[in-house]
């Protein structure tokens, strides 16, 4: 086995394991945030705190079947393999297990392999894989809840700034300007849309996510991020509308920002050559 094949294999295996955890985060983090939000609202109104049990934490208890409560044993929680062997059903009660679980695990593995293929083995590939995994998690949460939690979003921003000081990504000053420009540019777009349309078009999480991506790419590639996000977003929106979807129904923009940002971080120069005829 060649060294390159070994690294690709290790990246894929690590991605599968991380993907299993991302499924947990995408499910449990929003539940905990909504629980905290309801609790704070009741406290602000002077009402008694809800008697409901807090949702499970990110690190425990272990995964279980939501239908019967069966706690998964280690051999029932092997990424992708367990789902296939159990034919997508709980071993205890037979309830169907969503295909989303193995799909997310495979996606996380694919992102890790992509990062290693683009950057080569080393710290940069690990940083890119971490970026991809976080963007995947944010996309899942945004699709489910139209929410981009501050924790992972701002974590990406600070990670981008920190990596810039370590020589991964743009120079530190460029990363700082990129973060500020990303937030400001999308804030202007969101404000203009609200004034013209009389309703919100972008959420605060979208602004923070573009700021985070600006920290990873710097300010110069930000137009590419916007283009690479807006074009597929517009195409999907038009297709959904043509299929009968209410055009006033909000369409989460976070997944498209994640897609555009990922492409520009890994392949910004190639995309710039294709669009502008010159690298960044």
The per-residue pLDDT for range 56-101, each reduced to its tens digit, is 888 878 888 887 878 888 888 899 999 999 989 988 888 899 999 9
CA–CA distance, 112 with 9 (Å, rounded to integer): 10
Q: What is the 3-state secondary structure (H, E, C) of 226-272?
A: HHHHHHHHHHHHHHHHHCCCCCCCCCCCHHHHHHHHHHHHHHHHHHH
End position of a domain, from candidates 88, 105, 121: 121
> Do 110 and 129 belong together in one domain?
no
> Do 133 and 270 belong together in one domain?
yes
> Do 128 and 232 belong together in one domain?
yes
Domain count, the chain: 2
> Do 109 and 163 belong together in one domain?
no
From residue 15, alpha-carbon distances to 133, 218, 228 in Å are: 8, 27, 25
> Do 110 and 212 belong together in one domain?
no
End position of a domain, from candidates 121, 136, 153: 121
> Do 112 and 1 belong together in one domain?
yes
> Do 148 and 271 belong together in one domain?
yes
* CA 28 centroid distance within chain: 15
CA–CA distance, 139 with 143 (Å, rounded to integer): 6
Task: Report residue 225 as tokens.
Answer: 């991020």
What is the extent of the structural domain holding 45?
Answer: 1-121
Mean pLDDT of 216-236: 94
> Do 132 and 264 belong together in one domain?
yes
pLDDT grade for 279, boundaries at 50, 70 and 90: low
> Do 243 and 165 belong together in one domain?
yes
End position of a domain, from candidates 92, 121, 150: 121
The per-residue pLDDT for range 145-201, each reduced to its tens digit, is 999 999 999 999 999 999 999 999 999 999 999 999 999 998 988 888 788 777 777
Note the pLDDT of residue 278. Answer: 66
> Do 105 and 131 belong together in one domain?
no
CA dihedral (239, 243, 249, 253) in degrees, to 10, reads -30
> Do 132 and 261 belong together in one domain?
yes
pTM of the model: 0.93
């Amino acid at each position: 086995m060649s060294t390159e094949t070994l690294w690709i294999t290790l990246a894929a295996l690590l991605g599968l394991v991380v993907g299993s955890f991302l499924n947990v985060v995408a499910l449990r983090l929003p539940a905990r945030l909504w629980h905290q939000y309801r609790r704070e609202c009741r406290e602000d109104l002077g009402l008694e705190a809800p008697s409901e049990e807090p949702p499970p934490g990110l690190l425990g208890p272990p995964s279980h079947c939501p239908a019967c409560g069966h706690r998964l044993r280690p051999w029932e929680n092997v990424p992708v393999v367990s789902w296939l062997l159990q034919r997508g059903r709980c071993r205890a009660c037979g309830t169907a297990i969503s295909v989303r679980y193995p799909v997310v695990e495979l996606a996380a593995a694919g992102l890790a392999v992509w990062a290693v293929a683009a950057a080569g083995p080393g710290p940069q590939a690990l940083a890119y894989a971490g970026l991809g995994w976080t963007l995947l998690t944010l996309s899942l949460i945004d699709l489910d809840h139209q929410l981009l939690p501050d924790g992972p979003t701002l974590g990406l921003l600070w990670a981008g700034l920190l990596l810039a000081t370590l020589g991964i990504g743009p120079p530190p000053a460029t990363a700082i300007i990129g973060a500020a420009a990303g937030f400001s540019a999308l804030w202007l777009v969101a404000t203009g849309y609200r004034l013209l349309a009389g309703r919100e078009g972008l959420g605060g999480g979208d602004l923070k996510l573009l700021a985070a991506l600006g920290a990873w790419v710097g300010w110069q590639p930000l137009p590419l991020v916007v283009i690479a996000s807006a074009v597929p977003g517009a195409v999907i929106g038009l297709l959904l509308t043509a299929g009968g979807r209410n055009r006033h129904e909000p369409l989460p923009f976070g997944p498209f920002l994640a897609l555009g940002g990922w492409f520009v971080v890994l392949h910004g120069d190639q995309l710039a050559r294709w669009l502008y005829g010159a690298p960044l």
